[in-house]
A and B are shown apart, each in its own frame.
Chain A
């Protein structure tokens, strides 16, 4: 979903019109607060917002979305841009900054990219959450075995390290794979690695 936030009604509706013409559905908001009240921030989507607005500035919006780890991609448009503002926006994780009046294709491109990234980011996040749930099923002992497995240690070494019988190691090893719903150790390594990747911001690509 695309969200348009601008206190100027004409600008707002023009953006919506543009998106509509390109078969993109958009929801409009006259202010940041209205938007925050209405929208689930963990859902993927793209926000097009102005900087100068009466209630909460676009800058504040960007920084707060970043803080909550939202999946939303943010395209910032502004009439007056200066370098310090641009730098801060980027730091906060805005997808891009467009200066008004912009070329419509630039906006469309930015929005499309934002949507893609946001969806990817959401997917990763979803995966990570799945992993966390699975990991949470593991006992302490199983977790120790899992870490040794990730370090690619043989069963014997694991048994020695953890002072366990080989049989026990083997059984736990089986339990770990079952709980993590993977077939093999490489598969498990991929699962955990990609989930860790999703903890980062989607724009850091």
Chain B
């Protein structure tokens, strides 16, 4: 096959090679996606691109943008609809910047109406269209023939270096056989298409064909998307003129189906053999004339023999049959000879390995034409397992009987008509007290069912039996000793030929379970009754499913009384209850519940819940869990409101705490003045008095109350008694017997009779002096702190925002110029002290600290009452309530006048220094200045003289001239003024005045100051300013000073150099947040030793320099929040860079302004 069809393939290839040789026009094949598939020399000439650069790329890419769309839409539409050849005039892009007009003819190539590819012919505009169309038609024709009629697979590979092969073309058969799409094959490498393990073989064969230069054939099996394909493949190399193999042409004869058939057959045999083996089926065949015996492999195996070692003669075979079975075998075979068509028998075989098997044999005898036995054959099947199973069954039946005898179940059999028992197992006596004999009496069953159950049970059983239905039901049976037992009756109805022949069943004792169920029902009912009547509690049944969901199955009415949640609400959604548990208790409750659920131990937990009214109540929950079959857990339990108990406990604890301290004095007071003590505990002695002193009336408590406190406490007492207050709490001082003053806490409860009259009062007294002392100590500590603060010159303030009152420490007053403190001040008083210029800043700082909850830190001036001015710094903080409202502001205030003055002085010195430096720079600019300023002066002088002359001798000259001259004089005087102004500003000593300025403008002005200087030395200045406004915030003069300095340095660096190198570049650009200014020169660069110290004072770049300029530059730039740096360029010269924070943090494109 491989040798027949390639002629056709070769024709195509030759044709294609021929086309590829056409050099006066491009001839391409383009696939459905508009990608170039093949490429010829003409196309290379036309485009300057090789096939390697174009094949696999979109055709459209060769052309101008405007044409790409045309082509893309052509390909997109052409593949969809019936499409016609199209001629286009396109602009071909050659090398960058070159373009030429070409005529392209696109022709769809069809197969059976479907477009499969396109040919594209590209020619310079002049080429004859007639000729190209004929070539085109020929190709189309050929491709059509090939694609439509060749059923064998063919393909074309291109060699691309060592062992690299690329599919250049394949026919439709290839795609059909492999199930791949054109995309998945064409232009892909062989190893992208052919999978392992075939790939290895295929590549080696390709290699062989390519190196030996002759056709190679082989057979291969490869897994493609279409399935496993087998094929006979032949590849033929295409050798170029240079003797190099460039392409491989391949054909494949698909033999998959033939292979599959063979495979299937082989599989069939295998399956048969496997079936024999599985069925343990042996086949035998004996030629009675030749005495030749054939056994199947399996039969050998069954006999435990192998064909190699065992000769299956009659004698050998029978030798393995036990003696007792030999007669059966002989008899059966004999029956065949006697004329039976077939025989069947079973016998055992002793195998050499000692095992014994049972064989089931079916044999047949065939006779020849004369009726003589000619051949005997048959099958023998191993039925050992079957025989074993039968014996097992017999054994299990025995065991079953035994079971029936001993099971705690009554097994019975009854007449399906009468329902009289025909058999009952012995357990019946134990179950009901009646012996089996009694059970077998007619009518026993019906007469012993509980009267309540009888009707239902009998009817149900009867009807089910009649229908032949197995059934199961429960009823009570009478016990011989009275009472009933619950049984479950499982009935099996035996039906034969549509008729019920027997009923059998088992009675299972269910009494215990029924009793439990009953008990449970009763207990639940009791529980519910209890629950509904429970005063401070409720009962509930809670289910928690295996997925953790809680459902109340039942909740008693009490719940509403406790929580205000109705049982209905709780049962609808358990969260109505669980959602009320405060977060603090949820975890504890859940843990207890989890433990109870896991271990099935009682749930016992105290926790709090918030009632609907918002009140917090203590609940005590106690319940018992049980697990249901579905994995859910049920708790039956009680919840009790123990809030009162808890409160009582709390009170008791508090009381105990007090009394346990042993210091409390319990007292019973008389109701009326002077409130004698009726009884008092011994602990009164801690004050140096004996109980008797008070109880006898010799001394009254009010006598020892400190006089200052007496009136207050007495009034309170009278008020409490008069208004029947529940209790009275007071703090006051007493004097002990030794004269010491102690602080007392007095808790008294008046006791009233039924008419509301005070009978007496009970209470206790507590010495709280120590506690009081601790508070006092705290106050003293505060005072000490205050003292410390005032020693440090720091005043404190505490502003209560609600009342508006501000507490100032003594020092605070001092700091504001008041020698002594006075009443608390308010905010308005404070702000009135602030210097009017600083007022808005202070108010803003306070407001923003308050709003942002940040620390307050502000420096401001105040005016003292004597009119003097002080600088103060405040550090403070606001405190806030839960709602986030400021409640207080406190902080410290310190005097920073000295520091500020020092800072101002420093700034002053710095300013002076900078001014001095500017003056020094000015010295260098004198020449520029003179030149600049003399120009307009000269002009003025000339115009003035000319004017005078005209006035003297007004003849002949045009009349308007004089006015013109005067105008010029005016203009030039202004020009002189401007120049003066510029230089004066630069040399002026003025305080820093920061403002928004454009760095580009500053640089231009700086250069203007230096114009003459730069021109004089012939330095050429190059501008590279950014387009966007380079806005910074700074002092113009100081920044100009920096730039002038850097420019002068740059000029000095190039002044002595050849003209070509006397070049300076001034550059600005906007970095993200900065403006970067660079001044670059082409000079000799900075000496390495100086590089690190450029900006240090007294380090100079010039032999005669003072080394002040750059250090001042740095201080100015840094003061503006910027950075200055300098270094040598990579090639030549140095660059100094200044970065200043930009006012516009912008990422706008440069041309947007």
Binding site for B on A (CB under 8 A): 8, 10-11, 13-15, 17-18, 20-23, 52, 54, 77, 79-80, 100-105, 107
Known A17-B946, A18-B945, A22-B949; contact A8-B935, beta-carbon cutoff 8 A:
yes
Measured CB to CB, the nearest residue on chain B to A81 is B930
A20 near B946 (CB under 8 angstroms)? yes
The listed residue with most B CB atoms (<10 A of its CB), out of A10, A52, A80, is A10
Stretch at the interface among B15-23, B87-95, B760-768, B967-975: B967-975
Measured CB to CB, the nearest residue on chain A to B928 is A80
Top 4 nearest A-B pairs (CB, nearest first) are: A104-B945, A14-B942, A79-B934, A21-B949
B957 near A11 (CB under 8 angstroms)? no
* Among candidates B934, B944, B971, residue contacting A100 with C-beta atoms closer than 8 Å: B934
* Measured CA separation A131–B1012 after assembly (Å): 49
* Measured CA separation A55–B527 after assembly (Å): 120
* Measured CA separation A77–B938 after assembly (Å): 10
Main secondary structure of the interface of B (DSSP, over half): helix
B1015 near A14 (CB under 8 angstroms)? no
Measured CB to CB, the nearest residue on chain A to B942 is A14
CB within 8 Å of A: which of B735-784? none
A22: chain B residues within 8 A (beta carbon):
949
Is the CB of B1083 closer than 8 A to any CB of chain A? no
* Measured CA separation A11–B936 after assembly (Å): 7
Known A11-B935, A79-B930, A80-B930; contact A20-B957, beta-carbon cutoff 8 A:
yes
Q: Shortest beta-carbon distance, A57 to chain B, in Å?
A: 9
Q: Shortest beta-carbon distance, B431 to chain A, in Å?
A: 136
* Measured CA separation A44–B849 after assembly (Å): 86
* Measured CA separation A125–B950 after assembly (Å): 37
* Among candidates A11, A23, A80, residue contacting B938 with C-beta atoms closer than 8 Å: A11
* Among candidates A18, A101, A107, residue contacting B937 with C-beta atoms closer than 8 Å: A101
Q: Shortest beta-carbon distance, A167 to chain B, in Å?
A: 66
A103: chain B residues within 8 A (beta carbon):
941
B936: chain A residues within 8 A (beta carbon):
10
Q: Shortest beta-carbon distance, B908 to chain A, in Å?
A: 36
Measured CB to CB, the nearest residue on chain B to A79 is B934
* Measured CA separation A17–B968 after assembly (Å): 11
Q: Shortest beta-carbon distance, B1073 to chain A, in Å?
A: 39
* Measured CA separation A193–B941 after assembly (Å): 45
Known A20-B946, A52-B1015; contact A10-B941, beta-carbon cutoff 8 A:
no
B1012 near A13 (CB under 8 angstroms)? no
* Measured CA separation A100–B972 after assembly (Å): 14
A52 near B957 (CB under 8 angstroms)? no
Known A52-B1012, A52-B1016; contact A21-B931, beta-carbon cutoff 8 A:
no
A17 near B937 (CB under 8 angstroms)? no
Is the CB of B943 closer than 8 A to any CB of chain A? yes
A100 near B935 (CB under 8 angstroms)? yes
B934 near A101 (CB under 8 angstroms)? yes
B946 near A21 (CB under 8 angstroms)? yes
Q: Shortest beta-carbon distance, B975 to chain A, in Å?
A: 7
B930 near A14 (CB under 8 angstroms)? no
A79 near B935 (CB under 8 angstroms)? yes
B930 near A10 (CB under 8 angstroms)? no
Q: Shortest beta-carbon distance, B942 to chain A, in Å?
A: 3
Known A8-B939, A11-B938, A17-B943; contact A80-B931, beta-carbon cutoff 8 A:
yes
- 18 A-B pairs with CB atoms under 8 Å apart are A10-B971, A15-B942, A17-B943, A17-B946, A18-B942, A18-B949, A20-B961, A21-B950, A21-B957, A52-B1016, A77-B938, A79-B930, A79-B932, A79-B933, A100-B938, A101-B940, A104-B944, A104-B946
B927 near A101 (CB under 8 angstroms)? no
CB within 8 Å of A: which of B910-961? 927, 930-947, 949-950, 953, 956-957, 961
A14: chain B residues within 8 A (beta carbon):
938-943, 946, 968, 972
Q: Shortest beta-carbon distance, B962 to chain A, in Å?
A: 9
Measured CB to CB, the nearest residue on chain A to B951 is A21
The listed residue with most B CB atoms (<10 A of its CB), out of A13, A77, A100, A107, is A100
* Measured CA separation A23–B944 after assembly (Å): 16
* Measured CA separation A97–B1021 after assembly (Å): 30
Give the interface size class of chain B. 20 to 34
Known A79-B931, A79-B935, A100-B938; contact A10-B975, beta-carbon cutoff 8 A:
yes
* Measured CA separation A18–B938 after assembly (Å): 11
B957: chain A residues within 8 A (beta carbon):
20-21
* Measured CA separation A79–B949 after assembly (Å): 24
* Measured CA separation A28–B945 after assembly (Å): 19
* Measured CA separation A11–B961 after assembly (Å): 16
B938: chain A residues within 8 A (beta carbon):
11, 14, 77, 79, 100-102
B554: chain A residues within 8 A (beta carbon):
none
Measured CB to CB, the nearest residue on chain A to B935 is A8
* Measured CA separation A100–B935 after assembly (Å): 7
B941: chain A residues within 8 A (beta carbon):
14, 101-104
A18: chain B residues within 8 A (beta carbon):
942-943, 945-946, 949
Is the CB of B965 closer than 8 A to any CB of chain A? yes
Measured CB to CB, the nearest residue on chain A to B949 is A21
Q: Shortest beta-carbon distance, B740 to chain A, in Å?
A: 102
* Among candidates A10, A23, A105, A107, residue contacting B939 with C-beta atoms closer than 8 Å: A10
* Measured CA separation A8–B940 after assembly (Å): 13
Q: Shortest beta-carbon distance, B1020 to chain A, in Å?
A: 11
B942: chain A residues within 8 A (beta carbon):
11, 14-15, 17-18, 104, 107
Q: Shortest beta-carbon distance, B898 to chain A, in Å?
A: 51
A23: chain B residues within 8 A (beta carbon):
956
B968: chain A residues within 8 A (beta carbon):
10, 13-14, 17
B927 near A80 (CB under 8 angstroms)? yes
* Measured CA separation A107–B944 after assembly (Å): 14
* Measured CA separation A49–B927 after assembly (Å): 19
B1016: chain A residues within 8 A (beta carbon):
52
* Measured CA separation A180–B943 after assembly (Å): 52
* Measured CA separation A21–B936 after assembly (Å): 19
* Among candidates A10, A15, A102, A105, residue contacting B972 with C-beta atoms closer than 8 Å: A10
B946 near A10 (CB under 8 angstroms)? no
* Measured CA separation A25–B939 after assembly (Å): 18
Q: Shortest beta-carbon distance, B327 to chain A, in Å?
A: 144
* Measured CA separation A189–B332 after assembly (Å): 180
CB within 8 Å of A: which of B209-251? none
A8: chain B residues within 8 A (beta carbon):
935, 939
* Measured CA separation A54–B1021 after assembly (Å): 13
* Measured CA separation A15–B968 after assembly (Å): 12
* Measured CA separation A36–B901 after assembly (Å): 66
Measured CB to CB, the nearest residue on chain B to A77 is B938
B953: chain A residues within 8 A (beta carbon):
21
Encode contact with A along B955-996: 1 for CB under 8 Å, 0 otherwise: 011000100010010011001000000000000000000000
* Measured CA separation A10–B927 after assembly (Å): 20
* Measured CA separation A185–B931 after assembly (Å): 58
A13: chain B residues within 8 A (beta carbon):
939, 968
* Measured CA separation A100–B930 after assembly (Å): 10
Measured CB to CB, the nearest residue on chain A to B950 is A21
Q: Shortest beta-carbon distance, B1061 to chain A, in Å?
A: 19
* Measured CA separation A104–B938 after assembly (Å): 9
* Measured CA separation A8–B946 after assembly (Å): 18
B931: chain A residues within 8 A (beta carbon):
52, 79-80
A101: chain B residues within 8 A (beta carbon):
934, 937-938, 940-941
CB within 8 Å of A: which of B984-1019? 1012, 1015-1016
The listed residue with most A CB atoms (<10 A of its CB), out of B930, B935, B961, is B935
* Measured CA separation A101–B935 after assembly (Å): 8
B935: chain A residues within 8 A (beta carbon):
8, 10-11, 79, 100
Q: Shortest beta-carbon distance, A66 to chain B, in Å?
A: 22
Q: Shortest beta-carbon distance, B797 to chain A, in Å?
A: 67
Give me 5 other A-B pairs in contact (C-beta within 8 A), A18-B946, A21-B950 excluded. A14-B943, A14-B972, A100-B934, A100-B938, A104-B944
Q: Shortest beta-carbon distance, A32 to chain B, in Å?
A: 14
B956: chain A residues within 8 A (beta carbon):
23
Q: Shortest beta-carbon distance, A27 to chain B, in Å?
A: 16
* Measured CA separation A14–B970 after assembly (Å): 13
B949: chain A residues within 8 A (beta carbon):
18, 21-22
